[in-house]
Amino acid sequence: MKNTRNIIIVGATSRIAEHCARIWLQNHTANLTLIGRNAARVEKVAADLRVRSPKSVIRIVETDFLNPEAIQQTADDIAATGTIDIVLIAQGSLTEQLDCQTDLSACKESLEVNGISPVLFAEAFAGHLANAGQGTLALIGSVAGDRGRKSNYVYGAAKGMVTRYAQGLQHRFAGSDVKIVLIKPGPTDTPMTAHLKAQGAKLTPVEDVAQESVNAINRGQAVTYAPGKWRLIMWVIRHLPRGIFNKLNI
């Protein structure tokens, strides 16, 4: 593995993504590009990382996360600067299910931010990895995408889209040196889940999820649950008979 890697993070203000970046910069320098919708917020993340790794080159890019032309141009501009080693696509927003049920604008936004936007960015960068014949593209999905549940089925539908899309990419690049990694975190202690924490939910520390994510990316592992216990939990939930499942308040 070369010492200085070219790493791209889409949705760089994601707390999981931020901690992944910290881990990558612990022992190696990197050329790190942080992509976000708000330059001021992304710059705060970049400033912290520059202190942690003064010899790394860290730049920020602000772009529209739903405009296909802007997304493609962003990917093209970044790819023109050098071979890409890792792309981490991490944007997301945990919209309240009730808001999605009562406000179609909120429903649309949740589907776009959590499903459509990650897919558009992934497709834009996948073309450049294909042309280079190497690289790793990782998407942060969610255990919520494994089976629709009344508590978060709109968010889960968007993450289910990411899961199916990642499977298709893995099939597309099977046998090549391009690796596609799907990361499925369980409930994680981030600002996005602060309301769940206030309700007493047990959340996994974001540092742990980030470490498992980086490990999976470094291995080129097709699917990883973070933490690993969620693989078994979601296997059970996926296979529950509908009659039993419909009685559960989940």
Mean pLDDT within 128-154: 97
What is the average pLDDT across 134-151? 97
Q: Which residue has the tokens 């739903």?
A: 66
Whether 195 has a pLDDT exceeding 80, the answer reads no
Q: Is residue 35 part of a domain?
A: yes
Q: What domain range includes position 81?
A: 5-245
Q: At what angle do helices 117-132 and 153-172 cross, to 10 degrees?
A: 10
pLDDT > 80? residue 197: no
The residue-averaged pLDDT of 74-100 equals 96
pLDDT at 224 over 50: yes
Residue 24 included in any domain:
yes
Beta bridge partners of 225: 184
Contacts of 87 (CB under 8 A, 6+ apart): 7, 8, 9, 10, 122, 125, 129, 135, 136, 137, 138
Integer Cα distance of 225 and 181 in angstroms: 11
**Helix 153-172 crosses helix 104-111 at what angle (to 10 degrees)?**
20
Q: Among 18-32, 82-96, 192-206, whose mean pLDDT is lowest?
A: 192-206
Residue 69, in any domain of the structure:
yes
Question: Given this model, what pLDDT does residue 202 score?
Answer: 80
DSSP string, the chain: --SSEEEEEESTTSHHHHHHHHHHHHHS-EEEEEEES-HHHHHHHHHHHHHH-TTSEEEEEE--SS-HHHHHHHHHHHHTTS---EEEE-------HHHHHH-HHHHHHHHIIIIIHHHHHHHHHHHHHHHHT-EEEEEE--GGGSS--TTSHHHHHHHHHHHHHHHHHHHHTTTSSEEEEEEEE-SEESGGGHHHHHTT---EEHHHHHHHHHHHHHHT-SEEEESTHHHHHHHHHHHS-HHHHTT---
Tell me whether residue 250 is in a domain. no
- The per-residue pLDDT of the chain, averaged, comes to 95
Is 117 inside any structural domain?
A: yes
Checking if the pLDDT of 244 tops 80, the result is yes
Q: What is the pLDDT of residues 36-46, one digit of tens each?
A: 999 999 999 99
Spatial strand order in the sheet of 135-140: 57-62, 30-36, 5-10, 86-89, 135-140, 178-185, 223-226
CATH number of the CATH domain containing 195: 3.40.50.720
Estimate to the nearest angstrom the gap between the alpha carbon of 155 and the chain centroid: 14
1 pLDDT above the threshold of 50: no
Number of domains making up the chain: 1
Highest mean pLDDT out of 141-145, 195-199, 202-206: 141-145
Query: What's the pTM?
Result: 0.94
pLDDT tens string 45-54: 999 999 999 9
Query: Given a cut of 50, is residue 144 above it in pLDDT?
Result: yes
Q: State pLDDT tens for residues 147-182.
A: 999 999 999 999 999 999 999 999 999 999 999 999
Banded pLDDT at 2 (limits 50, 70, 90): low
For the record, the structure tokens of 238 come out as: 């996926």
Across 221-228, average pLDDT: 97
Interval 9-27 mean pLDDT? 96
